[in-house]
Amino acid sequence: MRVVELENVSFYYGSTLVLDNITFAVERGDLLGMIGPNGAGKTTLFSCMLGLLGGYRGTIRMFGEDIRKNGRLFQKVGYVPQRKTIEQNFPATVEEIVSLGITKTLGEKIEGERIASALDIVGLVDVRDKRVGELSGGQQQRVLIAKAIVDEPELLILDEPATGIDLETQNRFYALLRRLNQEQKITMIWSSHDLDAVSKLASRVACINRSMFFHGHTHEFFENPNLLKAYSEASMQAHMHLHDHQ
Amino acid sequence: MVLEILEFGFMQRALVAGVAVAITTSVIGLFLVLRKNSLFGDALSHVAFGGIAVGLVAGIYPLWTGLGLAVMGALGITKLRQSTKIPADATVAILLSSGLALGILLVSASGGFTLDLFSFLFGSILLVSVTDTLAILAMAGVILSIVIVLYKKLVYITFDEEQARVSGLDITRLNYLFVVLASVAAVVSMRLVGILLVSSLIVIPNVTALLFGKGFKKTALVSVAVSVFSVITGIAVSYAFNLAPAGTIVLVQVAVFIAALVARHSPKQVEEIKA
């Protein structure tokens, strides 16, 4: 069953074309690695898929329904944004933040069990009563994952969640993604610049650079030297473009 | 002395209204402070000043005209923030100066400052009438009921608007509703400390509570406790020493804040935090 389907999705920021006719689908149980150079449009694409940007052309369907026609579809979606620093003085505890992810009225007992289970999955049971702002960057990111999975979503969208986290924490984080996908059976779309991690974790890869550059099985991308060369050239160009504008 | 204070009707009304205002402003203030919008309450009270001047000139109960204009100003500024790229602090400055300008214009046109207008500028908790007390209690009751019902949603938009939007919350409507609640809270608190000191009620108890608070609910409760303590102590001290209640309340708040700051940074506390 298709969890997400995009058909000819295009998006302009003013007069600048940011997404050009993107078409792909994600099947239930997939772990789709979304890769692309800086400025390729990955975050814009996620914003369209999550209903945060509405002015796109084309069609985005989730669970078989057009997201423009049914906003309640997002209740089945967990979202982990690009890493943001949480204010140190934000007073909410880890448990309070995770509870924000529960959108239904479940009753105190079930909510407590759900929160405990989500914290157990991400390995943060010991810090449940701590202020979220006191935690390290990696722990904060795991809190956001716990919040995203506490409502038992069918789809998890993660936008470069491991950027800026040390290597050891990144590896633990990737192991967590694998567990969520394989043990909790959560379909995932995960954007990353870490090609090594994507090659090891993702079942499929979508590579965009404003338009769809490649979409298929992970091994097809990583075993094709021409695709890898083209990707690295595009990344280099994007890097130089960014450098020129700084 | 406590019993002596409670014998007077005006003191009873002052304490009842003062505690209602203390609870309301500290609860609304926690969201404002965490959203880096501490001066929004100040701007709203200045707009309300314009509305109060309208009421006094037109012979209408001034709290209602103040409330009306503050709500309209808050909604207008929220719309302006959402539809333009004007920085948030600049919109606060626009709101603040336009309300004050309207007030000054009406006051000068009507022949100068009246005693009533002064009481709104500097607070007059000891002069609150039964009508004022009932109006304050009603407005405080409405604000607190709505905050309790929407508590989780308000915490979510305070934590992260984007994630809250993805989870299905109608952020635009919630933001409009919140600024209306903040307007009501600002107008309610003018009677206690006056237009010029409204932001102290919104900011100081919450900044004090944030020094210690572990948990959103606990921080809100600490803030309410600091606010209620400061108001009751301020009213009692001002009565005992014949001082201005508004200034006394705010100075008590500042004293509690400084004491909390010292306690938080005492060597023993620092050792405990490190441990």
Interface of A with B (CB under 8 A): 50-52, 71-72, 74-75, 77, 79, 81, 84, 87, 89-93, 96-97, 99-101, 103, 129-131, 144, 147
CA distance linking residue A214 with residue A210, whole number of Å: 12
Among the partner-chain residues B152, B210, B215, the one whose CB lies closest to the CB of A89 is B210
Please give the pLDDT value at position B272: 58
Question: Does residue A15 sit within a domain?
Answer: yes
Three-state DSSP class for residue A135: coil
Contact state of B166 with A51 under an 8 Å Cβ cutoff: yes
Question: Does residue A116 sit within a domain?
Answer: no
CATH number assigned to the domain comprising residue A57 = 3.40.50.300
Among the partner-chain residues B166, B167, B215, the one whose CB lies closest to the CB of A93 is B215
Mean pLDDT (whole number) for B134-152 = 94
DSSP conformation letters of A40-55: SSHHHHHHHHTTS---
Provide, as residue numbers in chain B, all residues whose Cβ is less than 8 Å from the Cβ of A50.
166
CA distance linking residue B43 with residue A31, whole number of Å: 50
Provide, as residue numbers in chain B, all residues whose Cβ is less than 8 Å from the Cβ of A103.
167-168
- Angle A61-A66-A72 (CA atoms, 0-180°, nearest 5)? 100
User: Structurally, how many domains does chain A consist of?
Assistant: 1
B214 touches chain A (CB under 8 A): yes
Average pLDDT, consecutive stretches of 10 residues, N- to C-terminus, chain A (246 residues): 92 91 94 90 93 91 91 87 82 95 86 91 90 88 89 90 76 85 90 90 92 90 83 72 56
Region for residue A214 given its phi and psi (left: phi exceeds 0; alpha: psi -120 to 50; beta: otherwise):
beta
Q: Please, which pLDDT band fits residue B190 given cuts at 50, 70 and 90?
A: confident
Contact state of B166 with A50 under an 8 Å Cβ cutoff: yes
Q: Is a pLDDT exceeding 60 seen at residue B73?
A: yes
Q: Which residue of A has its CA nearest to B151?
A: A100
Q: Which domain holds residue A31?
A: 2-85+155-244
CA distance linking residue A158 with residue B229, whole number of Å: 46
Question: Does residue A6 sit within a domain?
Answer: yes
Question: Does residue A48 sit within a domain?
Answer: yes
B12-71 residues touching A, CB cutoff 8 A: 34
Question: Does residue A147 sit within a domain?
Answer: no
Q: Is a pLDDT exceeding 90 seen at residue B61?
A: no
Please give the pLDDT value at position B4: 75
Question: Does residue A73 sit within a domain?
Answer: yes
Paired sense of beta strands A187-191 and A31-35, if any? parallel
B212 touches chain A (CB under 8 A): no
CA distance linking residue A148 with residue A188, whole number of Å: 12
Contact state of B167 with A50 under an 8 Å Cβ cutoff: no
Question: Does residue A93 sit within a domain?
Answer: no
CATH number assigned to the domain comprising residue B114 = 1.10.3470.10
Token digits of residue B117:
């207008």
Q: Which domain holds residue B15?
A: 2-274
Q: Please, which pLDDT band fits residue B153 given cuts at 50, 70 and 90?
A: very high
Q: Please, which pLDDT band fits residue B151 given cuts at 50, 70 and 90?
A: very high
| Residue that is written with structure tokens 């003013």 in the block | A14
Counted across chains A and B, CB pairs separated by less than 8 A come out at 64
User: Structurally, how many domains does chain B consist of?
Assistant: 1
Contact state of A92 with B162 under an 8 Å Cβ cutoff: no
Question: Does residue A119 sit within a domain?
Answer: no
Q: How far is B204 from chain A (nearest CA, A)?
A: 15
Please give the pLDDT value at position A244: 58
Answer whether 0.80 is exceeded by the pTM: yes
Please give the pLDDT value at position B94: 87
